[in-house]
Amino acid sequence: MSVDEMQANLVVVVPGVLGVLVSAIPWARVNGVKMEGKEKGLKEGLTGDDADAEDALPRMIELGEIIARGAMDFLNAEYKVLAVFTVLFGVIVAKAAGNYAAVAFVVGSVTSTACGFLGMKIATASNSKTAHECWVGGVKKGYQVAIWGGSVMGLSLVSIGLLTLFGLILAFKSQMGDVSEEELYEAVAGYGLGGSAIALFGRVGGGIYTKAADVGADLSGKIDEGMDEDDKRNPACIADNVGDNVGDIAGMGADLFGSFAESTCAALVIGSATGSTLIGNWGATMFPLMISSTGIVCGILTLLLVGAYTVDKTDKVEFALKLILIVSTIIETPFVYAIATWTLPESFKVVEDADMVTPLKACYPVWLGLWSGLIIGFVTEYYTSFSYQPVRDIAKQQETSAATGIIFGLAVGYLSCIIPVFCIAGTVLVAHTILGMYGVALGALGMLSTITMGLTIDAYGPISDNAGGVAEMSGLSHDVRTITDALDAAGNTTAAIGKGFAIGSAALVSLALFGAYTVRAGVRTVDALDPWTFTGLLIGAMIPYAFAALTMRSVAFAATDMVEECRRQFKLILHPEPGQAPAEPDYERCIVISTNASLREMIQPGLLVMLSPLLAGYALGKNGTAGLLIGGMISAVQMAISMSNTGGAWDNAKKYAEKLKRKGSKQYENAVVGDTVGDPMKDTSGPALNIVMKLSAIISLVFGSTIASWSTPEGGPLWLTHFQ
């Protein structure tokens, strides 16, 4: 091994190891929080909502344990199903793409599963402790615990993913002998497929779980009985809190892990294709991994710098979270230039007939992706936060009726697509002009380079949301719930930002994977006038609608079961027969309903996405498959943005009505209806659509050679020749 090769390896490995070690610090801090309550006990002389319940502390500990147990029970049940899927689909990958691709697929699946498990463990450990610290230490302590929990997930997930991928590359390089770099990285692409496949089921299963509970709790509790958000008498409220972790922690973590793995694999495949002058230059080949490794260092520095900003008031929370994104983007910008000038040749190209480019020009796609991600995040915030006019306008419309609020909310979601699409389109145009599809892959990696901090503030959302629920159900005073509500409101906005970030990066990732697919399948041009390509475009544009329909229908079925169960229990809890004592809510029964529904209902949408590229490859040929991928991507990115932002806007319109103390009014009831309609859009269908884009493309890439064998040299389906 040469000195340059060793240095390149260290630049990848050292930040990854550092990220794992640093993530252990906030984990230890969370575990070090003692659940002991206030030293002086309850507030003296206060009654009702101004006082803490006498059993607040034991109740808080018990609720935390129930939520953690429910989340782990779901993960165990889901992972058993996914283990069977991994083995069966791994066999298919081995038959079509080779044993090495199958090994990479299994490794990617296991890594994604492990990351989701770690994220769930720290999140469920943080939620009740966040509520506890809000109680005993105020805003400052509560915010710290929530950020500690989020940073563990952000740093550890990226670090583990990076180290595992790099170890896989080294292992394959030593075992595969004299194969070309192109063949090596095509096998490694199975890693991205494994990560994305687990992400799809994690997102869909988790989304159905959480929205079955959320919608069921809202309809039966808020609408039927006039209850508060997390009234402890509502049997579905614990399942709702469990679902926040299942969907927005495990699901989001697997989603962004998949984006990182896929964009890196796409860059490796394109950068090693015939005609690339990077072939044989180990340091330059590892440039995509180095972008992610600098992102880990950037995240650590961001936490140190932003930690100097003291969050001791509720109105400082939202700014502190946005500061994390801004600072990380600023720090990463010079890092990209430094690593590019150090590792890339003075001039190079990745396409045979392209012009030579410099390392500085290679930075442009990365910078565009990096700053476009920040812009998309802030645009998402504008359209979903009640601090701005769009959500306030929705709330005003809800004073008239639920229908006008729903109409206006849909319009807001559609409008929110405009700027993100221009950002994505501009990044693609410039990146492709400079470096072809390799530039697009670098743009995706640029948008994902601050993923450590993106995941930190995204995981903060469900942690603070759960903390609010625990505070409510534990009977803490109004003062404490004001703090947890402020943390939750800011977290709701950061969760929306995280979804926008994930969708934007997914669009770039899927386009980069599409480019890698065309290289492997030998698709020379994608001509919309070709009948097979055009047919693929139409079918591909339809698939996101079919997927959204299946997932939303699943939520409706599961929520109906939940509402019926809650109404049955309310007869015993709230309206017992004369002479009978009120029954205790059966939380476990509602958790079982959500678990069973999610595992049952995630199969159809999953099969739709997994099988459509393969069926298209056989029926339409490689050109038709190319059309399918492009049509699906263009359709899915618009739907994903509008559905996620519409649902987020309706959610915050409800919170705005709560802030204005409109509970019990017709406006609040209409806002609850809007929030309920938007729940499966923002937490199930919308976020999962970005995985639809990526997964279709990575399946096509891994099975590219097989699809090519099903096609004629002109790109049509081979089966047609038997009838000619």
DSSP string, 312-342: -SGGGHHHHHHHHHHHHHHHHHHHHHHHHHH
With contact defined as beta carbons under 8 Å apart, do 630 and 514 qualify?
yes
In this prediction, residues 655-684 reach a mean pLDDT of: 83
What confidence category does residue 50 fall into, taking pLDDT thresholds of 50, 70 and 90? Answer: low
pLDDT tier, 2 (very low <50, low <70, confident <90, very high otherwise): low
The span from the CA of 412 to the CA of 18, in Å, is: 42
Contact 505, 292 (CB under 8 A): no
Alpha helices in 224-314 (DSSP H): 224-225, 237-245, 252-271, 282-285, 287-306
d(CA 270, CA 710) in angstroms, rounded, equals 23
Do residues 415 and 383 lie in contact, with contact meaning Cβ atoms separated by under 8 Å?
Answer: yes
The amino acid that residue 70 corresponds to is G
Residues 202/116, Cβ–Cβ less than 8 Å: yes
Q: How far apart are the first and last CA of the chain?
A: 56
Name the more confident of 291 and 683: 291
- Which residues make Cβ contacts (< 8 Å) with residue 85, sequence separation at least 6? 197, 201
561 pLDDT exceeds 50? yes
Q: Which residues pair with 711 in a beta bridge?
A: 717
Give strand pairing partners of 348.
357
- pLDDT score of 701: 86
Q: Grade residue 250 by pLDDT with cuts at 50, 70 and 90.
A: confident
Note the pLDDT of residue 724.
61
The CA-atom distances, in angstroms, between 167 and each of 12, 171, 188, 297, 343 are 10, 6, 11, 19, 20
Query: Is the Cβ–Cβ distance between 417 and 504 less than 8 Å?
Result: no
**For the ranges 103-107, 218-222, 354-358, which has the lowest average pLDDT?**
218-222
Sign of the Cα torsion 384, 444, 188, 455 reads negative
Q: Are 288 and 443 in contact (CB under 8 A)?
A: no
What is the arithmetic mean of pLDDT over 363-371? Answer: 94
Q: What is the pLDDT of residue 364?
A: 94
Domain ranges of the chain: 13-29+56-306+313-723
Name the phi and psi angles at 490, rounded to 5.
Answer: -65, -40
Backbone angles phi, psi at 348, to 5 degrees: -160, 170
Q: Rounded to 5 degrees, what angle do the CA atoms 377, 379, 382 make?
A: 115
CB 266 within 8 A of CB 516: yes
Q: Specify the pLDDT at position 43.
A: 47
| Closest to 200 measured CA to CA, from 72, 288, 71, 108 | 108
The 10 Å CB-count burial string (b at 16+, else e) for 477-503 is: beebbebbbbbbbbbbbbbbbbbbbbb
**Across the chain, which distance is largest between two alpha carbons, in Å?**
91
DSSP, res 720: G
CA separation for the pair 243, 708 (Å, rounded): 42
Q: What is the DSSP string of 34-69?
A: -----TT-SPTT--GGGS--TTHHHHHHHHHHHHHH
* Distances in whole angstroms, Cα of residue 531 to Cα of each of 534, 584, 625: 5, 63, 12
pLDDT (0 to 100) of residue 41: 44
DSSP designation for 88: H
- Residue 284: both structure tokens together: 């330059």
Q: Tens digit of pLDDT for each residue in 70-112?
A: 888 888 888 888 898 899 999 998 988 888 889 999 999 999 8
Burial of 345-384, coded b for 16+ CB within 10 Å and e otherwise, reads eeebbbbeebeebebebbbbbbbbbbbbbbbbbebbbbbb
Those residues whose C-beta lies under 8 Å from the C-beta of residue 198, and which sit 6 or more positions away, are 82, 86, 108, 109, 112, 113, 116, 254, 258
Q: 307: which 2 tokens?
A: 């930690």
Q: pLDDT-derived band of residue 367, with 50, 70 and 90 as boundaries?
A: very high
In whole angstroms, how far apart are CA 241 and each of 29, 229, 245, 591?
23, 11, 7, 10
Contacts of 484 (CB under 8 A, 6+ apart): 130, 131, 134, 142, 464, 467, 468, 471, 472
Residue 497 or residue 630, greater confidence: 630
Q: What is the pLDDT of residues 163-208, one digit of tens each?
A: 999 999 989 888 876 677 778 888 888 888 888 888 888 888 888 8
pLDDT tens digits, 451-503: 899 888 888 888 888 888 888 888 888 888 888 888 887 877 777 777 777 78
Give φ, ψ of 357 to 5 degrees: -125, 160
Whole-prediction pTM: 0.88
Helices then strands, each counted (H, E), the chain: 22, 0
Task: Decide: residue 151, CB within 10 A, 0-12 exposed, 13-18 middle, 19+ buried.
Answer: buried
Task: Provide the token pair at 275.
Answer: 């005609």
Q: Select from 587, 677, 651, 472 the least CA-distant residue to 234.
A: 587
